[in-house]
Amino acid sequence: MLAGLKSGHPRLYLDPERVSNLLEMSQVDAFLSRLIEALAAESNRIIGEPPDDFRVIGPRMLQQSQTILKRISNLGLVYLLTGNDIYIRRAKDELLNAAAFPHWNESHFLDTAELCNAFAIGYDWLYSRLTDPEKRIVRTALIEKGLKAGLRAYESDAWWISCSHNWNLVCNGGLLAGALALADEEPGLSGLIVKTAIQNLPFAMRTYGPDGGWEAGPEYWEYSTRYGCFALDVLKTALGQDFDLSQSPGFPATGLFPIYCSGPLDHYFNFADSHCFREPQPAFFWLGRKYSLDACVQEAHRLLEKHLHAGYAPDAFDVVWYQPPVKTALPQPKKAFLYRGIQTVFLRSSWNDPAAVFVGFKGGSNRADHAHLDLGSFILDALGVRWAADLGPDDYDIPGYWEMMEGGGRWRLFRLNNRSHNTLVLNDDLQRADAAAKIIKTDFTEAKSFAIADLTGAYQPHAESLRRGIALLKDGTVVVQDEIIWTGRARKVRWQVMTDAQLKVSGAGATFTKSGKTCHAKMTAPADVPFETFSAHREPPENSNEGYRLLAVDYQAPEDRTTLCAVFSARPAEIEILPLREW
């Protein structure tokens, strides 16, 4: 496994040739020069702060581990680019302080893995300026608190080793970096870790298949893909190959997923345990270069420019993986796209209009990593405002948060069940925790782009059949239509939308107002059924959901077949209601 190991340091993520390349490029690339200046300014700020303390909060010290990784990589890269010893001294302080931690919290191995990556970078990038005693301290901490902890996990078949989500990528990826930093000095231990990590990374990489979506939502796409790129890049830079992991189905296209998953506000459709706000992602540069995805390189530049203007401090890997801007105009991507792997659809009226209509609509699985009971849920952006929102995650340390079985504590939390999402509640019941929903029909045209999901499994035993269709019409009108065939005489349905806009209700019509803009909603079927509003407030330990309300319709269906149809538009609109089979 270590036969192709490059000699000398640095060899992880970059080498002396890449450092020289970045310096030369910065002389003619004004944007790269700005990034390096901003990174140096951030490192100067770090110099004025003390090293991070050892503290475990709840089960984790992940925030501390990530802070240490960011500091060491920032300081180390600025040193390599400037040669200024002030950055070496501060990076050493951080390394030696963390080396003295009593442990790296291997019970929550994400923390250990991030520190393995931090120490790998510190040891590798600063190798020539560490004294022999300092090398020994850093190397010993990495081995005893990091790599041997990983080996114990491998020997005990820890659950995360071959799981299908971010823990696999982060834990195996961090261990890979640590092992390759010391591979010439500890070939036995390092070789075993490299071999085991490479054998198990495919279990998570296959989650990107077949088309690059990520079932745990866009925020966990960011975390998972950052470490996916770390793992592939450290293998390539240190060993000269990535053992074909980079060709895992879906991964070559995954850089497009967060682009499709966000609308004109730069807010994600934040399903699962994701927040909606976007930040620059260094992985865009890596993916853009590796897979010739110019759209990813362009997106990296756009987001960095926006955040630099707002005072954002770049990440070291924005520079390590930097690619020059795309000089030619790119073809417009599709305005509608179905991610088949996660059964989620994105519809938009335009890519370039800040007032464009954007809809995210999901099927998928309630058993997915970080899933909520949100099958059939959607978000809606228009006129520069998010009208239909997803509240996102709650506090991970609330008791029962990770009880995901039917009846588990996770589903008692308002933010995580279907009572808070923009979907249906039948007979006051929750969706089934093991349910899945497929997108059974799509048609994407200028006149009408739509998707229909079969939600029947989520609503057992109440519905014999339940289908939801969402359509974006040419004029920007959005139609949400549900068709229910009931199984018994209990036929109560709540239709609902979560919003932080001001709401004014008048019978079956409602007006949303926010940021000086207005959106209209009308319940066109059943006829004359009035909207109501309800508070989204919750008491501690749950999030209070301040500022949010539910616009809802509660309907007692008189017959065994029910159609609900709601219309959202910038101006009051009327539509012809067609059965979903005729869409």
Domain layout of the chain by residue ranges: 16-320, 336-573
* b/e burial code for range 301-319 (CB count within 10 A of at least 16 → b): bebbeebbeeebbbbbbbb
Structure tokens at 465: 């059949």
The DSSP code for 368 is: S
For 492-503, write each residue's pLDDT tens digit: 999 999 999 999
Backbone angles phi, psi at 516, to 5 degrees: 75, 5
**Under 8 Å between Cβ of 431 and 418:** yes
CATH code, 336-573: 2.70.98.70
Q: What is the pLDDT of residue 528?
A: 85
List all residues 6 or more positions away from 581 whose beta carbon is below 8 Å from its beta carbon.
none
The DSSP code for 514 is: E
User: Which residue spans within 221-287 are E strands per DSSP?
Assistant: none
* Alpha carbon separation from 450 to 5, 95, 244, 439 (Å, rounded): 51, 53, 37, 10
User: How far is it, in rounded angstroms, from Cα 545 to Cα 554?
Assistant: 22
What SS3 state is found at 391? coil
Structure tokens at 51: 């090293």
Q: What is the pLDDT of residue 319?
A: 98
User: How far is it, in rounded angstroms, from Cα 334 to Cα 332?
Assistant: 7
DSSP string, 517-579: EEEEEEEEESTTPPPEEEE----TTS---TT-EEEEEEEE-SSSEEEEEEEEESS--------
The DSSP code for 331 is: P
For 304-329, write each residue's pLDDT tens digit: 999 999 999 999 999 999 999 998 88
554 forms beta bridges with: 494
List all residues 6 or more positions away from 530 whose beta carbon is below 8 Å from its beta carbon.
505, 507, 508, 553
Q: What is the pLDDT of residue 453?
A: 98
* Alpha carbon separation from 570 to 382, 510, 516 (Å, rounded): 8, 12, 13
Say if residue 526 is preceded by a cis peptide, omega within 30 of 0: yes
User: How far is it, in rounded angstroms, from Cα 495 to Cα 437?
Assistant: 18
Q: What is the 3-state secondary structure (H, E, C) of 414-440?
A: HHHCCCCCCCEEECCCCCCCCCEEEEE
User: How far is it, in rounded angstroms, from Cα 480 to Cα 472?
Assistant: 9
User: How far is it, in rounded angstroms, from Cα 452 to Cα 440?
Assistant: 6
Structure tokens at 411: 């589903």
- For the chain, residues with pLDDT lower than 70 are none
Which candidate, 156, 426, 367, 386, places its Cα nearest to that of 267? 386
CATH code, 16-320: 1.50.10.100
Please, what sign has the CA dihedral across residues 161, 166, 171, 174?
A: positive
Tally of CB atoms within 10 A around 17:
8
User: How far is it, in rounded angstroms, from Cα 402 to Cα 410?
Assistant: 6
Helix ranges (H only) for 474-520 are none
Cα angle 315-142-207, degrees, rounded to a multiple of 5:
60
Residue 313: HSE in the Cβ half-sphere, 13 Å Cα cutoff? 13
User: How far is it, in rounded angstroms, from Cα 244 to Cα 251?
Assistant: 11
Q: What is the dihedral of CA 273, 278, 281, 284, to 10 degrees?
A: 100
Please, what sign has the CA dihedral across residues 363, 366, 371, 377?
A: positive
User: How far is it, in rounded angstroms, from Cα 337 to Cα 344?
Assistant: 8
**Under 8 Å between Cβ of 178 and 146:** yes
User: How far is it, in rounded angstroms, from Cα 211 to Cα 251?
Assistant: 8
DSSP string, 335-363: SEEEETTTTEEEEES-SS-TT--EEEEE-
Q: What is the dihedral of CA 427, 430, 433, 434, to 10 degrees?
A: 20
**Under 8 Å between Cβ of 53 and 97:** no
